[in-house]
Amino acid sequence: MKLDKYIKTACLLLPFCVVSCDTNKGNDKDAEMNKFVSDLMSKMTLEEKIGQSTLISSWWDVTGPVSNNDYAHKAKDGHVGGFFNALTCDFLYRLQKEVVENSRLGIPLMFGYDVIHGYKTTFPTPLAMSSSWDMEMVELAARSMAEEAAADGLHWAFAPMVDIARDPRWGRVAEGAGEDTFLGSEIARAQVRGIQGENFADTATLIACVKHFAAYGAPVGGRDYNSVDMSERQLREFYLPPYKAAVDEGCQTVMCAFNDINGVPATTNKWLMTDVLRDEWGFDGMIVTDYTGIFELTNHKTVRDSADAGAQAIRAGVDMDMQSAIFMNYSKENYEKGLISMEDIDRACRNVLNMKYKLGLFEDPYRYCDTMRAKRVLKHPKFFKASHEVAKRSIVLLKNDNEVLPISKNTKTIALIGPMATNKRNHLGTWHTAGREETVTPIYEAFLKEFPDSRIIVEDGCWYEGDDRSKFAKAVAAVRQADVVVMCMGEQEFESGEAASKTDIRLAKIQRDLIDEVAKVNKPMVLLLHNGRPMVLTDEEKKFDAILEVWHLGSMAGPAIADVVSGDHNPSGKLTMSFPRSVGQIPVYYNYLNTGRPENVNVRFTSRYLDSPNSPLYPFGYGLSYTSFSYSNIELDKDSMTKDGVIKATVKVTNTGKRDGDEVVQMYIGDQVASVSRPLKELKGFKKVNIPAGKTVDVTFEITDELLKFYNADMVRDSEPGDFDLYIGGSSQTGNKTVFTLK
């Protein structure tokens, strides 16, 4: 489609259009885009402008409670701006052609999809990937999934999800980067870089969509969609920075969250979407609601009816209405009643058209639809190789007593027990969308290859849930023949993700019973834990010699796990979310405030539980290796600095074991005294370094004033002079500490 078509049409239709005097706040570099979009809007009718703000799900997939796809026919009238959950070049080409050739102005559609951790090739779930602490791997995964999805005709990924979460009862922790703001912000940047690449017009990239704005990860009770209630300080200090990091990295779209924040639904939260996101952070992209978010305002009881919902949402800053079709049905009436302005409508329309312009769709609406390219690119071996590399690095070794791991390839008999031993589908994890189980290499198959000289006996023993113990005996019999037992247990893919909150985050009873029966045989026991969320492993910790957190690792789960179990790959993952000792501890996280009565188990009147330590079973930043690392004391190039200064902090990290290994060296800083109470420590830097056996490397961090800033008593983000505790080690529980001063 050439631009001249639009210019020709303009002359014919100019008298029919109401043109807002508004011009995009864009800057010089978007001058050409602004001019093109302004020209295009000058010939659009009110209905056509409203149409651009409508996003409808195709009937191919359902990712929410209602699927009112009967509006799809309106696309031909130019009254729909985009579709989501629609796939393949062929289908998208036909849908695009239908609209471009039949609607009055031929404005192309944009196509979105939940490309969260892979497309046809599935990568580890985002929480798993975050455990790699490897930004190159995170970016590689995002790059790969974007290239594959773009090859299937898609333009827009509803990712990254960057919701900070401290409550593993919430199933969507699986989609995020865990509990820490600093790490979550770095991961958000890497994901945006991977998805969007350097140039939006590159048909091997997608436009990203940071979500869910904001603080969706802090629902009361860990129950999905529930209210979020927190101070502005908590919101700005811990929950907003990863969204801002994505915006600063150039993320083009933002998706509103379902929840209310302090009683104001995110979908109509002007303070969030306009005052903070656009005015404070300078975001000039497009804001889309979540699935039927506008329709659900009636349930929030903050609107009189759907018309009121649509008016409040567009006035607050929403540009595109996902799946409610409320803008489509009520914006004209709201405008005619003076409840919304032409500026509101124009702003929303323009922000959507800007995305289409940046995607190059006005030049050629079919530019992403190339079936020959799709055949070449989809499920390309390079994506499986990438997924394998990312998966290996996402595995966390939680326990390894008596060096039961790695399992020698000379082992005579290995028993693989548990429902995950042969399963494929559940390795895909939540939100695997276009991923299919056919792409998954299961554990059993991978073990046969990894341990060619061993006898592998496999018994699932039980299903993930239920109370069928009929296969226990066979499993126990297999264990009796084995030299070592590897139990493959955990959650099914739908037990985490959206609408998957739980009150009990232990393994299902049937699985715990099977473990108890197997443990009675008294063989060396290894647990492979497949889960979307942190789980309570307090019992399992006592029953297994070794525990590997292997998450839901995607298409290459089997080979990645086999590499680690055999020692071909030395595990290097670290937890990015605390594992509680019991659900009663939740929320438990590492960057807590000290309180006036910090825990002292020997003193009654202190902040503690009668039946449990405050500490989690496995803390943030924790993960073991098949080797070991020692840290020297921290050397500072100076022990004080002014606001414009820099302190260099160096540790010598020695690999004291017999195998090469990667270590995630973590730097934490704690403000000793401040105008508000501050966490005892917060992650302010990390470096993943490879250290050959027996060698020592220097790892240096630069401490700047920026790392010391926080929202002070006046809610101004600044640093305050004084002494700071500095920790550098291999976990948030490191005691390797020194002090420096900000003058």
Please, what is the minimum distance in Å from the beta carbon of residue 114 to ligand GLC?
5
Q: Does 211 bind ligand GLC (CB under 6 A)?
A: yes
The count of chain residues that interact with ligand GLC, using the rule CB under 6 A, is 9
The minimum distance between CB 320 and ligand GLC, in angstroms, equals 12
Instruction: Rank residues 3 and 62 by Cβ distance to ligand GLC and give the closer one.
Output: 62
> Which string of x and - marks every residue 75-104 that binds ligand GLC (by CB under 6 A)?
---------x--------------------
Nearest to 386 by CA among 680, 113, 124, 706: 124
DSSP code, position 328? H
Distance (Å, rounded) from C-alpha 509 to C-alpha 78? 54
Q: Are 386 and 129 in contact (CB under 8 A)?
A: no
- Does position 267 interact with ligand GLC (CB under 6 A)? The reply is no
CB of 135 to ligand GLC, least distance (A): 23
Helix (H, G, I), strand (E, B) or coil at 106: coil
Alpha-carbon distance of 175 to 185, in angstroms, equals: 14
C-beta closer to ligand GLC: residue 112 or 418:
112
One of 51, 64, 108, 661 touching ligand GLC (CB under 6 A) = 64
Quick one: tokens of 524?
């060396």
Q: Are 703 and 649 in contact (CB under 8 A)?
A: yes
Q: Is 290 a catalytic residue?
A: yes
* Pairing between β-strand 546-549 and β-strand 396-400 as defined by DSSP bridges: antiparallel
Pairing of strands 629-631, 646-655: antiparallel
Closer by beta carbon to ligand GLC, 215 or else 634:
215
Q: Which is nearer to ligand GLC, 323 or 734 (CB)?
A: 323
Ordered DSSP codes for 557-615: HHHHHHHHHHTSS------SS-B-SSGGG-S--SS----SS---TT-SSSS--SSS-SS
Residue pair 317/278 in contact (Cβ under 8 Å)? The answer is yes
Looking only at residues 482 through 541 of this chain, which bind ligand GLC when binding is defined by CB under 6 A? 498
Which residue among 103, 110, 114, 548 contacts ligand GLC (CB under 6 A)?
A: 114
Least separation in angstroms between residue 111's CB and ligand GLC is: 13
**Do residues 270 and 314 touch, judged by C-beta distance below 8 A?**
no
Q: Which of 152, 290, 308, 319 is labelled catalytic?
A: 290
CA dist 200 to 145, 146, 210, 214, Å?
15, 12, 16, 25
- In whole angstroms, the minimum distance from the beta carbon of 115 to ligand GLC comes to 10
Q: Which is nearer to ligand GLC, 255 or 443 (CB)?
A: 255
For the CB of residue 109, give the shortest distance to ligand GLC in the complex, in Å. 16
CB 666 within 8 A of CB 683: yes
What is the Cα–Cα distance from 93 to 87, expressed in whole angstroms?
10
Closest to ligand GLC by CB, 214 or 536: 214
Residue 176 or 461 with smaller CB distance to ligand GLC: 176
Which residue number is nearest to ligand GLC in terms of Cβ? 63
Taking the least distance from each CB to ligand GLC, the nearer of 175 and 460 is 175
Q: Is 58 in the site for ligand GLC (CB under 6 A)?
A: no
The CB-of-161 to ligand GLC minimum distance in angstroms stands at 6
Q: Residue 302 and residue 575: Cα distance in Å, rounded?
A: 39
**Of all residues in the chain, what percent are helix, strand and coil, respectively (each to 5)?**
35, 20, 45
Which residue, 498 or 563, is less far from ligand GLC as judged by CB? 498
Q: Which of 243, 238, 285, 249 is nearest to 266 (CA)?
A: 243
Tell me whether residue 214 or residue 340 sits nearer to ligand GLC (CB atom). Answer: 214
Classify residue 403 by burial, with Cβ atoms within 10 Å: 0-12, 13-18, 19+. exposed
Place of tokens 């020959």: 372
Among 36, 83, 133, 158, interactor with ligand GLC by CB under 6 A? 158
User: What's the min distance (Å) between Cβ of 677 and ligand GLC?
Assistant: 34
Of 291, 362, 368, 544, the one binding ligand GLC by CB under 6 A? 291
Task: Reduce the DSSP state of residue 371 to 3 states and report it.
Answer: helix
Q: With contact defined as beta carbons under 8 Å apart, do 576 and 570 qualify? A: no
Any contact of residue 435 with ligand GLC (CB under 6 A)?
Answer: no
Label each residue of 393-456 as H, E or C: HHCEEEEEHHHCCCCCCCCCEEEEECCCCCCCHHHCCCCCCCCCHHHCCCHHHHHHHHCCCCEE
Location of structure tokens 């798993």: 128
Q: Report the candidate in 556, 540, 674 with the shortest Cα–Cα distance to residue 617.
A: 540
Structure tokens at 409: 């390839």
Among 290, 296, 319, 459, binds ligand GLC (CB under 6 A): 290
> Would you state the structure tokens that stand for residue 6, as one six-digit string?
């639009």
Least separation in angstroms between residue 73's CB and ligand GLC is 21
63 vs 125 by CB, closer to ligand GLC: 63
**Interaction between residue 63 and ligand GLC (CB under 6 A):** yes
With contact defined as beta carbons under 8 Å apart, do 572 and 625 qualify?
yes
Q: Give the nearest distance from C-beta 355 to ligand GLC in angstroms.
A: 16
Q: Which residues contact 89 (CB under 8 A, 6 or more apart)?
A: 151, 152, 153, 368, 369, 370, 371, 374
Report the C-alpha gap between 531 and 314 in whole angstroms. Answer: 39
Identify whether the C-beta of residue 536 lies closer than 8 Å to the C-beta of residue 581. yes
DSSP state of 276: I
Question: Which two structure tokens, joined as six digits, stand for 2?
Answer: 């050439």
Task: Give the CA distances from residue 224 to residues 173, 175, 528, in Å, rounded to whole numbers and listed in that order.
Answer: 10, 13, 27
In the complex, minimum distance from the CB of residue 57 to ligand GLC, in angstroms, rounded to a whole number: 7
Nearer to ligand GLC, 63 or 181 (CB): 63
Catalytic residues, which ones? 290
Binding-site ranges for ligand GLC (CB under 6 A): 63-64, 84, 114, 158, 211, 290-291, 498
